[in-house]
Structure 1
Amino acid sequence: MRLKKSLGQHFLKDKGVIKRIVDAGGIGPEDRVVEIGPGGGALTEEILKRNPLELYLVEIDPDWAEYLKNRFGDRVKVFNADATTFDFSSLGENLKFFGNLPYNVSTRIIRNLLDHRKVMKRGVFMVQDEVADRLTATSGKEYGYLPALLQNFFRIKKLFKVPPKAFVPPPKVMSAVFEMEPTGFNMEEGELLAFENFLKKAFSMRRKKLKKNLGIKKFPPPFSGLEEKRAEEISPKTFFELFRALYLNKGGL
């Protein structure tokens, strides 16, 4: 079957890399596993060798979804669905996630996983190397609103790089595998959306100071002076603490 450029499909072929990815997830016979974007099933095959309790495949391409059903039969449950909007909570709890994420929507999938963090035990994903660098950044030019948001909810660690030759067809960029594990930190949906919007405002003009981007001349103690800094200088934890102080002070931003 043909790969589809519109879906950002680059299938992993290097068996050594495939084994390293699955090893990083530590799958046991009691685990319920979700694979996002399985495509032709190279990663799926390796996951099945670990005999998980359940393996759910979420594949947006109807042709590949049908192929996966035929190839693996009742050993998997296939969902022909969009992982950027899929309700992963419908699959149960304590889920382990894997995926060679389509490059064009990888951050949207990861953002959707934030909304389903309560059912996530661990995730091991492959993305563009520069995306992995952004997700794990805590300061500087690669650091933005998404890592500032995600790192309050997940421990995110870059594991290893993957060269273009490991894929069919080979992408034009280096890839990387990273892991993310929920910290247990939580907040209500309304507050989460307000926090996300707060971070987007903070990073809206990267060279401007926070007092300009947020429209607040003076921050309350103990954050006095931070208004003179740029967003890329503020850690994820400090951003949340600042948001909470301003949010509670104003009864909602």
Structure 2
Amino acid sequence: MPSSVSGLSTPHESLRDVIARHGLDARKSLGQHFLLDPGITARIASMAGRLDDVNVVEVGPGPGGLTRALLDTPATSVSVVEVDARAIVIMNELAASHPGRLHVVEDDAMRRDLATLCPAPRQIVANLPYNVGTPLLVGWLRQATEWARLTLMFQLEVAERICAPPDSDHYGRLAVLSQWVARCGIVMTIPPGAFSPPPKVQSAVVNLIPHTKQPAPALFRAMEQVTAAAFGQRRKMLRGALRGIGGEALLEAAGIAGNRRAETLDIADFDRLAHAHLERLSPAS
């Protein structure tokens, strides 16, 4: 007899039984590693903070472990975006038990503007596919004004790159972009054995809470160009690494010595570089 999972009022099969019934084997091409422990998925949902009156978007729900945990919160709605047709069938079954509250979207999250799926206030809570986690995050950072919070699971190494301080091994372009627009922190680590199949690395959940003031799109593009150049050749001094976008003139405008290297700059330094680069790109008024 099926038992209740994560405190849902309607009985559900265990996730393992759901996976078996639908033949939902995890596919490497989709970066799938399913999280089946309801205790862990409930903890991840709790890491998103108070979800009262919040609309939640989840990417890559798979068999729906985290989806069930999110539905067990006071969230106003949960919208799931899934590219795997096998998982869509499972999500539609779950949606039938939650009419009007769980919305299922069959699409590639890389191509979809997720902010159009539900009204604000909205959050993203997701166990991201390993193969697209970083580009998805950068896309959401570009539109950080749309999100109250992002609670995302990555490989631990990626999580460390997001949260790394200056002049540390993991500090780079992803840290600058993330910390420039949001307050970032690792809030939970998860061992490989919690997943089916187990990945070869540890995973971690990162909370990103966007700052109240956000850069305009043009300034964000300027920051992307500056960080790509600065960290593209990490061993070079900045006067050489930034030569293609202004070099010494750009550094002088930002008040930064040309013999420094990218990993020694803090977020405020990069902010000045991005503003100086945007100024150089803008036509004279």
TM-score w.r.t. the length of structure 1 is 0.93
Displacement after TM superposition at 1:163 (Å): 0.3
Q: Does 1:202 align with 2:230?
A: yes
* Residues 1:191 and 2:219 aligned together: yes
- 2:206 aligns with one of 172, 175, 178: 178
Unaligned runs of 5+ in 2: 1-22
Q: Is the contact between residue 30 and residue 53 of structure 1 (CA under 8 Å) also seen in structure 2? A: yes
Q: CA-atom RMSD, angstroms?
A: 1.7
Does 2:114 correspond to 1:102?
Answer: no
Give the CA deviation at 1:221: 6.0
CA distance in 2 between partners of 1:164 and 1:250 (Å)? 46
Rounded to whole Å, the distance in 2 between the matches of 1:188 and 1:149 is 13
| 8 Å contact kept, 1:132–1:178 | yes
Report what 1:241 is aligned to. Answer: 272
Cα separation, 2, equivalents of 1:13 and 1:222: 49
1:145 alignment counterpart: 173
The equivalent residue for 1:48 is 71
Deviation of the 1:250 alpha carbon: 6.0
Cα distance, 1:224–1:105 mapped onto 2, change above 3 Å = closer
Select 1:220's aligned residue among 243, 246, 252: 252
Question: Residue 217 of structure 1: SS of its match in structure 2?
Answer: helix
Q: How many angstroms does 1:29 deviate by? A: 3.4
Give yes or no for contact 2:83–2:106 (8 Å, CA) kept in 1. yes
Cα distance in 1, alignment partners of residues 280 and 105 from structure 2 = 45
CA contact (8 A) 1:35 1:55 kept: yes
Aligned residue runs from structure 1 range 1-253, under 5 A: 1=23, 2-73=25-96, 74=99, 75-91=101-117, 92-139=119-166, 140-215=168-243, 216-217=247-248, 219-220=251-252, 223-225=255-257, 227-248=258-279, 251=282
Runs of 4+ that moved beyond 3 A: 249-252
Which structure would you say has the larger RCO, counting Cα contacts within 8 Å and 6 or more residues apart?
1
CA deviation after TM superposition for structure 1 residue 26, in Å: 2.2
Judging changes above 3 Å, is the alpha-carbon distance between structure 1 residues 61 and 223 closer, same or farther for their aligned structure 2 residues? same
User: What's the CA shift for 1:214?
Assistant: 0.6
1:152 deviates by 0.9
Contact 1:138/1:236 (<8 A) preserved: no
Gaps of 5+ in 1: none
Deviation at 1:222, TM superposition (A): 6.3
Larger Rg: 2
Superposed displacement of residue 246, structure 1: 4.2
Assess, with a 3 A threshold, how the Cα gap between structure 1 residues 249 and 3 changes in structure 2: closer, same or farther: closer
Bigger mean CA deviation after superposition, 242-251 or 82-91: 242-251
Measured after TM superposition, the shift of residue 13 of structure 1 is 1.6
Aligned-partner SS, 2:183:
strand
Q: Do the aligned partners of residues 191 and 29 (structure 1) sit closer, same or farther apart at CA in structure 2, a change above 3 Å counting?
A: closer
Greater CA deviation, 110-119 or 156-165? 110-119
Q: Provide the secondary structure at the position in 2 that maps to 1:211.
A: helix
Equivalent residue letter for 1:241:
R
TM-score, normalization by structure 2? 0.83
Query: How much identity, in percent, do the aligned residues show?
Result: 33
Change (3 A) 1:145 1:110: same
What's the CA shift string for 1:110-166, capped at 9, x where partnerless? 112113312201111111000000010122331111221221111110112100111
Displacement of 1:251 after TM fit?
A: 3.6
Q: Secondary structure at the match of 1:220?
A: helix
Q: Matches of 2:57 and 2:211 in 1, distance apart?
A: 20
